[in-house]
Chains A and B, each alone.
Chain A
Amino acid sequence: MPQTTEVKIDPETHTLIREGVESQINPFDLYALEEAVRVRERLAERGEEATVTVITMGPPQAEAALREAISLGADDAILLSDRAFAGSDTWATSYALGRALTKLEPGLVFCGMQAIDGDTGQVGPGIAVHMDYAQAAYVAKIESLEKRKIVVKRLIENGYERVSLRLPAVLTVVREINEPRTPSLRGKMNAKKAEIPVWKAADIEAPEDKIGLLGSPTQVIKVFSPPHRQGGEKWAGDSPDLADKLCDLLAEMEIV
């Protein structure tokens, strides 16, 4: 029964630090959060109660992102943070999040399509396997939600696919699914006074050889800057002249 709704914020959020925006919600996860809040609201209209819990894995600073999530409508939040998680790849990340989520027994888990930095899109499906939940990736619309069943429209290469899933389920959502709200005053107040528990590896009973660098099958051995693109030649002038020039260019490239 969909009593609790989980939102997972991608664990890789914290790497946004690089851009100096300390601990913001990964933009993709905003859609996941918004959809979870909408589901809660829809259920409330039917007299069913649900809560939205946001969970993320990251350094202590990620707490700020969780508070932001509460200001946007989440009921509560959990931070999965432990030095032992450092170096987790998508396998170890989805394992740890899966363990934590299993403790919460949610009816639905919402994930962003992918993180903004790692952008692998693997963590959501990974969580589904670790939790043994049904899965729909790239969800663009929730069409109906019943006690044991959800019907979603998911984005595929050449259009969409309508799929019915038996609950509980993990959904990863695309941007098309909704327009996220801005924080409400009440939300901001809630965010300020919320107590956010920090779960360590021991709290989710995660063996050390399944988390962090030790639990990660992949290893980054080199990080480098891609070849920098530079602006080339630029032309200005009348539109007909520019169209001629452009046409010549396409002919040169053997496009036309």
Chain B
Amino acid sequence: MSIRIIEDKCNGCALCVKACPQIAVEVKDKLATIDLDRCNFCGACVSACRLRAITIEIEKQPREDLSQYSGVWVFGEQWGGEIAPVVFELITAGRQLANARKSELAVVALGQNLDSAAQRLSDYPVDKILIYEAPELASYDPERYSRVLSDLCRELKPEIVLAGATTTGRSFLSRVAVQLYTGLTADCTGLAIGDDGLLHQTRPAFGGNIMAEIICPYTRPQMATVRHKVIPTSPKSSNGKRPEIVRLDPKPQLFGSRSEILEFIEQLDGTVNIVEADVIVSGGRGIQAPENFALLEELANALGGAVGSSRAAVDAGWIPYSHQVGQTGKTVCPKLYIACGISGAVQHLAGMSSSDTIIAINKDPNAPIFQVADFGFVGDCLEIVPLLTKKIAALRGRG
């Protein structure tokens, strides 16, 4: 691989210098030069250069015939037979990709007693439902799950494999990708088939400050985990066509594991998982005391949403870490994010700025949160929130 500046074309405009996330480009005597110790061949300079003066060359060949791979798989993540909501979003994405590739869409579910899950999936526009049942797969085990999915990929050769960017999806698809020696792009927010027939995967990096488009040209399957809520949930099939349910034979030799689940501890406070919520009411330092989070909870309940928080509120011990939104917490993109008493540090913004609509309530008119909020309310959230909850209740009472 090599990166080269075509000297006749370069005019030293320095657009590449600005584009480089690695600070690996410098302009000396009106000519761009690249520091190869820093360059990681990301290609940012190539796309920034208007004069096409930078080229990256990669000499690489596939190790096998890629045309033997076809079809799109969605990993049917489930908990005790309950299909994770993100799976229905993946079906939307998978359907589009399969149509673009003129191939089949299958959902692959690993677990035990999956009959009702298979029935539920049958209502959706998928071609096949692959069911792999064994008592050893009843709950997620990284070693077993990855070995089984890798084995299925080797045998059935899907071209594309998608999973939700959940704690399960992220921590086990990466194992599968390593086992199969293929590429995995984590946390995608966009997927499309390019003119080259490849899966073009878009994902945010640097806490959302940069978007990167990634391909996996020489190995299969092309794998991606996809963020919650960036793709709409698939509608049910309208043509009455039912998918074929295929039961796969379990191979007990794949079920070795060095880990054992002792217990599940369900968190009862804030029963709605924030990454799956359509509405998030989030509180920060301006909430002032732990008991005030109850005000946010009441509003969240009235709106059918969940309670989030900034890091400050978690650090103060007002609310558990699992509610934290931001760079060191969760990344969310609900339809509506209501930030109450959150100043809007960049780390927080990184976790929520891709929400569809942002409403901010803050006493400080200069709080940075207002720079990303679609609607800003300069005032005391401790007063406004309960008034709002009451108003909503009154409206509902009338309606």
Residues of chain A touching chain B, judged by Cβ–Cβ distance below 8 Å, are 14-15, 17-18, 27-28, 59-60, 83, 86-91, 94-95, 116-126, 128-130, 134-138, 140, 151, 153-166, 169, 172, 174-176, 212-214, 216-226, 229-240, 242-247, 249-251, 253, 255-256
For the complex, what is the distance from the CA of A216 to the CA of B19, rounded to whole Å?
22
Q: Tell which of A175, A213, A218, A238 touches B216, judged by Cβ atoms closer than 8 Å.
A: A218
Q: Return the CB mask of B368-386 against A: 1 if under 8 Å, else 0.
A: 0011111111111001100
Task: Please indicate the chain A residues that have their CB under 8 angstroms from the CB of B260 in the complex.
Answer: 163-165
Task: Please indicate the chain B residues that have their CB under 8 angstroms from the CB of A124 in the complex.
Answer: 171
Task: Please indicate the chain B residues that have their CB under 8 angstroms from the CB of A176 in the complex.
Answer: 321-322
Given contacts A59-B37, A217-B182, A125 and B214 within 8 Å (CB-CB): no
Chain B proximity of A221: nearest CB distance (Å): 5
Given contacts A94-B178, A256-B392, A236 and B365 within 8 Å (CB-CB): yes
> Does A243 lie within 8 Å of B391, measured CB to CB?
yes
> Does B175 lie within 8 Å of A135, measured CB to CB?
yes
> Does A158 lie within 8 Å of B214, measured CB to CB?
no
Q: Tell which of B143, B207, B336, B370 touches A255, judged by Cβ atoms closer than 8 Å.
A: B336
Task: Please indicate the chain B residues that have their CB under 8 angstroms from the CB of A136 in the complex.
Answer: 142, 259
Q: Tell which of A17, A118, A221 touches B43, judged by Cβ atoms closer than 8 Å.
A: A221
For the complex, what is the distance from the CA of A153 to the CA of B263, rounded to whole Å?
9
Chain A proximity of B228: nearest CB distance (Å): 10
**B212 lies within 8 A of chain A by Cβ:** yes
Given contacts A18-B23, A129-B175, A234-B376, A214 and B259 within 8 Å (CB-CB): no
Q: Tell which of B143, B266, B359 touches A134, judged by Cβ atoms closer than 8 Å.
A: B143
**B292 lies within 8 A of chain A by Cβ:** no
> Does A134 lie within 8 Å of B328, measured CB to CB?
no
Shortest Cβ distance from A118 into B: residue: B205
Chain A proximity of B325: nearest CB distance (Å): 13
Question: Apart from A18-B22, A218-B216, what are 9 other A-B pairs with CB-CB below 8 Å?
Answer: A59-B38, A121-B174, A135-B175, A153-B265, A169-B258, A220-B42, A220-B214, A232-B374, A240-B387
For the complex, what is the distance from the CA of A251 to the CA of B392, rounded to whole Å?
9
Task: Please indicate the chain B residues that have their CB under 8 angstroms from the CB of A130 in the complex.
Answer: 178
Q: Tell which of A162, A175, A226, A231 touches B321, judged by Cβ atoms closer than 8 Å.
A: A175
Q: List 22 A-B contacts (CB under 8 A).
A: A117-B21, A119-B187, A120-B187, A125-B172, A125-B175, A126-B174, A135-B171, A161-B263, A220-B212, A222-B43, A223-B19, A224-B47, A226-B204, A226-B208, A226-B209, A230-B372, A232-B375, A235-B377, A239-B379, A239-B387, A243-B391, A250-B388
> Does B208 lie within 8 Å of A218, measured CB to CB?
no
**B285 lies within 8 A of chain A by Cβ:** no
> Does B259 lie within 8 Å of A135, measured CB to CB?
yes
For the complex, what is the distance from the CA of A160 to the CA of B322, rounded to whole Å?
10
For the complex, what is the distance from the CA of A250 to the CA of B396, rounded to whole Å?
13
For the complex, what is the distance from the CA of A246 to the CA of B321, rounded to whole Å?
28
> Does A219 lie within 8 Å of B58, measured CB to CB?
yes
**B49 lies within 8 A of chain A by Cβ:** no
> Does B328 lie within 8 Å of A223, measured CB to CB?
no
For the complex, what is the distance from the CA of A62 to the CA of B232, rounded to whole Å?
41
Dominant secondary structure at the A interface: mixed
For the complex, what is the distance from the CA of A162 to the CA of B143, rounded to whole Å?
16
Q: Return the CB mask of B176-187 against A: 1 if under 8 Å, else 0.
A: 011101111111
For the complex, what is the distance from the CA of A237 to the CA of B376, rounded to whole Å?
12
> Does A235 lie within 8 Å of B42, measured CB to CB?
no
Shortest Cβ distance from B378 into A: residue: A236
- Listed stretches B120-128, B162-170, B233-241; interface member: B162-170
Task: Please indicate the chain B residues that have their CB under 8 angstroms from the CB of A166 in the complex.
Answer: 258-259
**B310 lies within 8 A of chain A by Cβ:** no
For the complex, what is the distance from the CA of A134 to the CA of B42, rounded to whole Å?
32
Given contacts A125-B174, A162-B263, A246 and B384 within 8 Å (CB-CB): yes
For the complex, what is the distance from the CA of A124 to the CA of B171, rounded to whole Å?
8
Given contacts A119-B187, A129-B178, A28 and B377 within 8 Å (CB-CB): no
Task: Please indicate the chain B residues that have their CB under 8 angstroms from the CB of A156 in the complex.
Answer: 167-168, 264
> Does A231 lie within 8 Å of B371, measured CB to CB?
yes
Q: Tell which of A14, A86, A245 touches B41, judged by Cβ atoms closer than 8 Å.
A: A86
Task: Please indicate the chain B residues that have their CB under 8 angstroms from the CB of A17 in the complex.
Answer: 22-23, 38
Q: Tell which of B146, B275, B359, B380 touches A249, judged by Cβ atoms closer than 8 Å.
A: B359
Q: Return the CB mask of B184-198 against A: 1 if under 8 Å, else 0.
A: 111100000000000
Given contacts A135-B142, A246-B359, A220 and B178 within 8 Å (CB-CB): no
Chain B proximity of A29: nearest CB distance (Å): 12
**B327 lies within 8 A of chain A by Cβ:** yes
Q: Tell which of A164, A218, A224, A251 touches B183, judged by Cβ atoms closer than 8 Å.
A: A218
**B44 lies within 8 A of chain A by Cβ:** yes
Task: Please indicate the chain B residues that have their CB under 8 angstroms from the CB of A255 in the complex.
Answer: 279, 303, 335-336
For the complex, what is the distance from the CA of A28 to the CA of B328, rounded to whole Å?
7
- Pick the most buried of A94, A151, A176: most chain B CB atoms within 10 A of its CB: A176
Task: Please indicate the chain A residues that have their CB under 8 angstroms from the CB of B47 in the complex.
Answer: 222-224
Q: Tell which of A18, A212, A235, A236 touches B1, judged by Cβ atoms closer than 8 Å.
A: A212
Given contacts A129-B175, A163-B259, A255-B336, A137 and B142 within 8 Å (CB-CB): yes
**B357 lies within 8 A of chain A by Cβ:** yes
Given contacts A89-B183, A135-B171, A161-B265, A219 and B217 within 8 Å (CB-CB): yes
